[in-house]
Amino acid sequence: MEVKKIGIVGAGQMGNGIAHVCALAGYEVLVNDISQEALDRGIATVRKNLDRQVSREKISEAERDEAMGRIATTLQLKDLGQTDLVIEAATERETVKVAIFEDLVPHLQPHTILTSNTSSISITRLASRTDRPEKFMGFHFMNPVPIMQLVELIRGIATDEETYKSCLQVVENLGKTAASAEDFPAFIVNRILMPMINEAVYTLYEGVGNVRSIDESMKLGANHPMGPLELADFIGLDTCLAIMNVLHDGLADTKYRPCPLLTKYVEAGWLGRKSQRGFYDYRGETPVPTR
C-alpha cells in the first residue's frame, strides 16, 4: 500500500521532528495534540528548524514553504482516522499509548497502518489492544529526528509483510536508513545505549569520577560526540529511567537495575535539559555540573 497522508499523535520533541521530515519528503501531515498551545509550539519548532536548514543551504526557501504548507493540525484524535499511516509519538507510558489507540481505532480506515515511536515498550502488547495487530509496527525515530539517520522498524508477533514493506518504503522516502529489530525490550539502540548511560550514572554514584571527568573520558577516550551524562540530559532522565525499568522488568536480569542516583534525580524533577537541571544545570550561560 502506498502511503500518502501521515497522522502524528503528539507535537512534542519527537512528534514535531517526525512532522518536519515527513512534510519535507512530500507527505501530507496531520498533527494531533491535546492542547492548541502544544500544537502551536510544535509547529513553531518545525518552522525554526526548517529555517535553520535554509540558512545552512540544506534546503531552499521554496522547499521550506512547501513543507510548511503540507502540515495541518487538529485537537480531535479521530481526524487522524483519514490518514494512511499513524505514528504515535506521545509520552513513553504504556497506559497513555493504549488509551490513544483505543480512542483512535473506531475512526480508522480499513487500510490504515498503526505505528508507535516507542523506544522500549512491547509492540506485540500494544498491537494486541487494537483491531489490526497485523497492521501494527514499531516506528522508532532517533532524536533529533531531522538530523539522525536511523529508524528502527520493529515487527510485533502478528505484523504482516505488507505492513513492514510499506513502512520500509516510507523510511526510504524520508532519506533515512531502516534497521529491522525484533520485539524484545528496548529493541537494538536502547538495549545497548541505556545500560551504558546507567553504568555512567553508577560510576558517578560510586564516586569513581565526577560529571565532567566521566563525560570527558568517554568523549576523548572513546571518541563519543557527547558524554553519557550529557546525552542522558538531552534524552531526558525520566525517559532513561523508564527504559531501564522496561529492560529490568522485561528481562529480569540484575545488570539492568536502574542506578538509585538516576531514580533520585527523576524524583527531584531534575530531568535534564527540558527541566533546566539534570546532571548539568542549564539555567546560566553555560551548563554547570550538578555533582
143 assigned to a ligand binding site: yes
37 assigned to a ligand binding site: no
209 assigned to a ligand binding site: no
* Coil, helix or strand at residue 31: strand
What is residue 1's predicted lDDT score, i.e. its pLDDT?
A: 79
1 assigned to a ligand binding site: no
What is residue 155's predicted lDDT score, i.e. its pLDDT?
A: 97
Distance, CA of 251 to CA of 258 (rounded, Å): 13
Cα-flanking dihedrals φ and ψ of residue 272, to 5°?
110, -150
Domain with CATH 3.40.50.720 in the chain: 5-182
Distance, CA of 271 to CA of 235 (rounded, Å): 9
Q: Which CATH class is domain 5-182?
A: alpha beta
pTM of this prediction?
0.91
pLDDT in tens, 236-260: 999 999 999 999 999 999 999 999 9
15 assigned to a ligand binding site: yes
* Coil, helix or strand at residue 6: strand
Cβ atoms 85, 6 nearer than 8 A: yes
Sign of the alpha-carbon dihedral angle for 180, 96, 267, 272: positive
Domain with CATH 1.10.1040.10 in the chain: 191-289
Active-site positions read 119, 140, 152, 190
58 assigned to a ligand binding site: no
Cβ atoms 34, 103 nearer than 8 A: no
* Coil, helix or strand at residue 151: strand
10 assigned to a ligand binding site: yes
103 assigned to a ligand binding site: no
Q: pLDDT under 70 in the chain at which residues? A: none
Count CB-CB contacts under 10 A for residue 194. 25
What DSSP character marks residue 77? G
Cβ atoms 23, 68 nearer than 8 A: yes
What is residue 92's predicted lDDT score, i.e. its pLDDT?
A: 86
Distance, CA of 200 to CA of 244 (rounded, Å): 13
**Whether domain 191-289 has CATH 1.10.1040.10:** yes
From residue 210, alpha-carbon distances to 198, 217, 235, 290 in Å are 15, 11, 20, 9
What is residue 196's predicted lDDT score, i.e. its pLDDT?
A: 98
